Structure 1
Amino acid sequence: MQYSRLLTTALVLLVPTPSLAAEPDGNGWKLVWSEDFETLDKDRWTLVDSHRPTNNSRHAYLPSQVSVENGRLVLLSEAVPSQDLPYRSGQVISKRAWKHGRWEVRAKLPATRGVWPAIWLLPDVDKYRWPSGGEIDIMENRGNEPHLTSSAFHYGTNPPYRHEFVFEEQQTRRNGELVDYTKDFHTYAVDWDEHGLTFSVDGVSHFRVDDSQVEDFLSKHAAPMQLVLNTAIGGDFLPDPDTSTVWPQRFEIDWVRVYERDGAPARKALVNGSFDADGGSLRGWTNFGVDLRDNPNVTAAPKTGVDGGAALKLFGTFGTGSQYSGVSQGIDVTAGQHVRASVQTFVSPDDSIAGGGNTAVAKIEFYRRFAARFESPDLIGVEEVVIATGDSKPGRWRRHMLDAVAPEGAVEARLAIVFHQPNQEAGALFVDDAQLTASKPSADCP
Structure 2
Amino acid sequence: MAAHRARRWSLGGLVLLLSAALATAIVVSASGSGVSRASAAVGAQTWSDEFDGAAGSGPDRGRWTLETGGSGYGNHELEYYTDSTANAALDGQGHLVVTARKNTDPGLNCWYGPCRYTSARLNTARSFTQAYGHFEARIKIPRGQGVWPAFWMLGSDIGSVGWPNSGEIDVMENIGKEPGTIHGTIHGPGYSGAGGLGAGYTLPGGAAFADAFHVFAVDWSPNSIAWSVDGTAYETRTPADAGGNKWVFDHPFFLILNLAVGGDWPGTPDGSTSFPQSMTVDYVRASAWNDAPGPGTGTTGAIKGIGGMCVDVAGGSNADRTPVQLHNCTGNPAQQWTLGGDGTVRALGKCLDVAGGSTADGAAVQLYTCNGTKAQQWTYTAAHDLTNTGANKCLDATGNSSADGTRLQTWTCSGGANQKWTLG
Match of 1:169 in 2: 200
The alpha-carbon deviation at position 168 of structure 1 amounts to: 0.4
CA distance in 2, matches of 1:191, 1:170: 16
Secondary structure of the corresponding residue to residue 122 of structure 2: strand
Match of 1:185 in 2: 213
Distance 1:272 1:120, change over 3 A: farther
TM-score normalised by the chain length of structure 2: 0.61
Distance 1:33 1:343, change over 3 A: closer
Is the CA contact (8 Å cut-off) linking 2:134 and 2:218 kept in structure 1? Answer: yes
Match of 2:9 in 1: 4
When you count helix as a share of all residues, which structure comes out higher? Answer: 2
- CA deviation digits over 1:227-272, x for unaligned, max 9? 0000111111112101111000111111011011233442364598
Secondary structure of the corresponding residue to residue 237 of structure 1: coil
Match of 2:64 in 1: 45
Match of 1:62 in 2: 82
TM-score normalised by the chain length of structure 1: 0.58
Question: 1:139 is matched by which residue type in structure 2?
Answer: M
Asked if residue 119 in structure 1 is aligned to residue 151 in structure 2, the reply is yes
Is the CA contact (8 Å cut-off) linking 1:27 and 1:267 kept in structure 2? Answer: no
Match of 1:251 in 2: 279
Is the CA contact (8 Å cut-off) linking 1:31 and 1:258 kept in structure 2? Answer: yes
Asked if residue 228 in structure 1 is aligned to residue 247 in structure 2, the reply is no
Asked if residue 239 in structure 1 is aligned to residue 267 in structure 2, the reply is yes
Which of 298, 310, 320 is matched with 1:278 structurally?
320
- CA deviation digits over 1:10-32, x for unaligned, max 9? 152234479413599x8234211
Secondary structure of the corresponding residue to residue 209 of structure 2: coil
Match of 1:140 in 2: 173
Question: 1:229 is matched by which residue type in structure 2?
Answer: L
Distance 1:170 1:3, change over 3 A: same
The alpha-carbon deviation at position 47 of structure 1 amounts to: 0.7
1:30-429 equivalent positions in 2, closer than 5 A: 30-39=44-53, 40-53=59-72, 54-64=74-84, 65-70=87-92, 71-80=94-103, 82-83=108-109, 84-94=114-124, 95=126, 96-124=128-156, 125-156=158-189, 164-173=195-204, 177-215=205-243, 222-262=250-290, 263-264=292-293, 265-267=297-299, 269=301, 274-278=316-320, 341-342=331-332
Question: 1:200 is matched by which residue type in structure 2?
Answer: S
Is the CA contact (8 Å cut-off) linking 2:135 and 2:287 kept in structure 1? Answer: yes
Pairwise CA RMSD: 3.4
The runs of 5 or more residues in structure 1 that have no matched partner are 281-306, 308-338, 345-363, 365-369, 371-436, 441-446
Question: 2:44 is matched by which residue type in structure 1?
Answer: K
Secondary structure of the corresponding residue to residue 320 of structure 2: helix
- CA deviation digits over 1:122-181, x for unaligned, max 9? 0232123000011000000011222111110001069xx9984112011132xxx33321
Question: 1:68 is matched by which residue type in structure 2?
Answer: L
- CA deviation digits over 1:47-85, x for unaligned, max 9? 111121131111111111111112211111011153222
- CA deviation digits over 1:328-365, x for unaligned, max 9? xxxxxxxxxxx984369xxxxxxxxxxxxxxxxxxx9x
CA distance in 2, matches of 1:197, 1:28: 15
When you count strand as a share of all residues, which structure comes out higher? Answer: 1
Identity %: 26
